[in-house]
Amino acid sequence: MSRTLHLALHPYGVGGPGQHGLWKDPRVAKNASIDINYYIRLAQAAEHALFDALFIVDSQFINSTYPAHYLNRLEPLTLLSAVATHTKHLGLVGTASSTYNSPFNLARRFASLDHISGGRAGWNVVTSFDTGTARNFGLDEHLDYATRYGRALEFVQVARGLWDSYEDDAFPADVERGVFLDPAKLHELDHAGEHFKIAGPLNLSRSPQGQPVIFQAGVSEEGRDLAAQVAEGIFAPGGTLESARDYYADVKKRAAAYGRDPEHVKILIHGGPVVAATDEAARRREREIFDEDDDFDRNLALLGRSFGAYDFSVHDLDAPFPDVAHLAEKGGRTGATQLIERAKAEGLTLRQVAESINQFRQSPFVGDPTTVADTIQQWFDARAFDGINLAFRTEEELNYFVDGVVPILQKRGLFRTEYTSDTLRGNLGLPIPANRHSRERQLVND
């Protein structure tokens, strides 16, 4: 089976984690993160370049130490609904928490985006590791790791059940017979599980792609397993070629073990290419970007996010890394645990740990257009990814990638030269899920 590279665009706005200085760039509008026209321009540029999707991240807790983009940004589904009316082919993927949402309400919102866009919606399922979010939803504590992932699995199963409330031919709208709905093709869900009890049905029919595409970003054991069970697209961390290949092979193997076709699980790593006229100029610019964003106080606050927005500034920076293992369980457990283990093994101080999370590391996707295209092809051929979730600091840098790198990838037959579908599923090469009730009816008739 021939493989096609997939590209998504992840806007930075005025700068998220690791881009602390981006808002100072004179090319970046200070209101970019709340300017719908900024997102529309980026989406149209991505669509012009034949990208698969626009990806919008989100969280529902902040304090004053959070990155600029997090402090003042638009709600993803509202944003994507507006973008949908200015695009025709680009997929629209929004992040929403399974921990702090209701399945019925969220299923309806994503189904609405799917209809508004003509079948281009995707849901990035997150369990939320910002423990402070709990207080914004009337809870005293954040749910523990196992509960969050158990709830996420059931949440997706419920949403998919609700999206199948109507069979595809449920609305004959026969004026002569006076029949708008065939009631035999409307189905209640009647779900009663560990976390949810929901009757249904959903008051919205299926879209041209059947159901929104499920995305997930699983790194931990629980996250990888959830992704292997339900995800059709996965946002992976990347790292080195070797680690990316290992992740890719692991998740595809897990998906197969669940009886799924691994080719129907598209893995996209995070990538922030730096493209310039020469390799030397690109490497120089990469270092300049690091220096622009290297702020110790912000890095210390960023470290705290992995431990539930913990304030590390209350500790002596030059004392051994404090004992905060109990905070990892309800935060970003995988990353937090790795930091704790490394601090103990190497005897690191708090200052050294904070500095280490933002050490300069050369990206593989840096160079002139040919060099970047070569590296993308190398990783793609090595099955380190099915695609890249691209992040660019400015619109100019996006355009430089589109004008310089994309044509090379197209010439090599790695990337499309035209859209083959009007739906996100179609462009990702994913099947339309059969309505479960229609499938059961067909089995009975056979």
pLDDT digits (tens, 9 = 90+) for 58-84: 989 888 888 899 999 999 999 999 999
Partnered with residue 197 across adjacent β-strands are 192
| Distance in angstroms (rounded) separating the CA atoms of residues 237 and 257 | 22
Arithmetic mean of pLDDT, 313-332 = 80
pLDDT digits (tens, 9 = 90+) for 423-444: 999 999 999 999 999 998 888 8
Selection from 301, 280, 275 nearest residue 375 by Cα: 275
Q: Are residues 149 and 208 in the same domain?
A: yes
Is residue 289 a part of any domain in this protein? no
Q: Are strands 121-126 and 197-198 parallel, antiparallel or unpaired?
A: unpaired
Residue 26 confidence (pLDDT) above 90: yes
Q: Are residues 309 and 369 in the same domain?
A: no
Residue 329 confidence (pLDDT) above 70: no
Arithmetic mean of pLDDT, 240-250 = 96
Q: Are residues 40 and 82 in the same domain?
A: yes
Confidence of residue 308 (pLDDT cuts 50, 70, 90): confident
User: Which residues are CB-contacts of 387 (< 8 A; sequence separation ≥ 6)?
Assistant: 5, 6, 7, 8, 52, 266, 267, 268, 269
Residue 1 confidence (pLDDT) above 60: no
| Per-residue confidence (pLDDT) for residue 337, from 0 to 100 | 81
- Identify the weakest region by mean pLDDT among 96-110, 133-147, 277-291: 133-147
| Per-residue confidence (pLDDT) for residue 331, from 0 to 100 | 58
User: Which residues are CB-contacts of 364 (< 8 A; sequence separation ≥ 6)?
Assistant: 241, 375, 379
| Distance in angstroms (rounded) separating the CA atoms of residues 208 and 113 | 12
Q: Are residues 193 and 311 in the same domain?
A: no
Residue where a domain terminates, one of 356, 385, 407: 356
Residue where a domain terminates, one of 336, 356, 376: 356
Provide, rounded to the nearest whole percent, the portion of the chain with pLDDT above 70: 98
Q: Are residues 28 and 159 in the same domain?
A: yes
| Per-residue confidence (pLDDT) for residue 332, from 0 to 100 | 62
Q: Which of 243 and 218 is assigned the larger pLDDT?
A: 243
Residue 401 confidence (pLDDT) above 90: yes
Is residue 233 a part of any domain in this protein? yes
| Per-residue confidence (pLDDT) for residue 335, from 0 to 100 | 73
Q: Which of 316 and 191 is assigned the larger pLDDT?
A: 191
Selection from 109, 53, 367 nearest residue 232 by Cα: 53
Is residue 230 a part of any domain in this protein? yes
Q: Are residues 108 and 161 in the same domain?
A: yes
Q: How much is the pTM?
A: 0.91
Q: Are residues 276 and 136 in the same domain?
A: yes
Question: CA dist 86 to 45, 115, 117, Å?
Answer: 11, 14, 9
Q: The domain containing residue 32 runs over which residues? A: 6-280+361-442
Residue 328 confidence (pLDDT) above 80: no
Q: Are residues 199 and 311 in the same domain?
A: no
Question: CA dist 176 to 16, 125, 173, 180, 332, Å?
Answer: 57, 44, 9, 10, 59
Supply the mean pLDDT for the chain.
93
CB–CB of 435/163 below 8 Å? no
Q: Are residues 198 and 316 in the same domain?
A: no
Is residue 263 a part of any domain in this protein? yes
Is residue 285 a part of any domain in this protein? no
Is residue 401 a part of any domain in this protein? yes
- Identify the weakest region by mean pLDDT among 37-51, 65-79, 302-316, 410-424: 302-316
Beta strands in 37-147 (DSSP E): 53-56, 91-97, 121-126
Residue 273 confidence (pLDDT) above 60: yes
Q: Are residues 109 and 208 in the same domain?
A: yes
Q: Are residues 243 and 164 in the same domain?
A: yes
- Element holding 278 (H helix, E strand): none
User: Which residues are CB-contacts of 88 (< 8 A; sequence separation ≥ 6)?
Assistant: 47, 118, 422
Q: What CATH number does residue 231 fall under? A: 3.20.20.30
| Distance in angstroms (rounded) separating the CA atoms of residues 128 and 77 | 17
Arithmetic mean of pLDDT, 98-111 = 97
The count of domains in the chain is: 2
Partnered with residue 388 across adjacent β-strands are 7, 269
Residue 272 confidence (pLDDT) above 80: yes
| Per-residue confidence (pLDDT) for residue 301, from 0 to 100 | 82
Arithmetic mean of pLDDT, 250-273 = 96
Selection from 321, 333, 334, 341 nearest residue 142 by Cα: 333
**Amino acid letter at 196?**
F
| Distance in angstroms (rounded) separating the CA atoms of residues 99 and 146 | 12
Q: Are residues 158 and 42 in the same domain?
A: yes
Q: Which of 301 and 365 is assigned the larger pLDDT?
A: 365
Residue 103 confidence (pLDDT) above 80: yes
| Per-residue confidence (pLDDT) for residue 8, from 0 to 100 | 98
SS3 409: helix
| Per-residue confidence (pLDDT) for residue 360, from 0 to 100 | 81
Residue where a domain terminates, one of 337, 356, 375: 356
pLDDT digits (tens, 9 = 90+) for 149-170: 999 999 999 999 999 999 999 9
Residue 330 confidence (pLDDT) above 60: no
| Distance in angstroms (rounded) separating the CA atoms of residues 365 and 1 | 26
pLDDT digits (tens, 9 = 90+) for 171-223: 999 999 999 999 999 999 999 999 999 999 999 999 999 999 999 987 888 88
Determine the distance from the C-alpha atom of residue 243 to the mean position of all C-alpha atoms in its chain, rounded to a whole number: 19
Provide, rounded to the nearest whole percent, the portion of the chain with pLDDT above 90: 72
Question: How many Cα neighbours within 13 Å face the side chain of 405?
Answer: 29
Arithmetic mean of pLDDT, 399-420 = 97
CB–CB of 194/155 below 8 Å? no
CB–CB of 173/205 below 8 Å? no
Is residue 287 a part of any domain in this protein? no
pLDDT digits (tens, 9 = 90+) for 367-381: 999 999 999 999 999
The pair phi, psi for residue 303, each rounded to 5°, is: -60, -40
Return the exposure string of 75-86: e unless at least 16 CB atoms fall within 10 Å of the residue's CB, then b.
ebbebbbbbbee
Is residue 288 a part of any domain in this protein? no
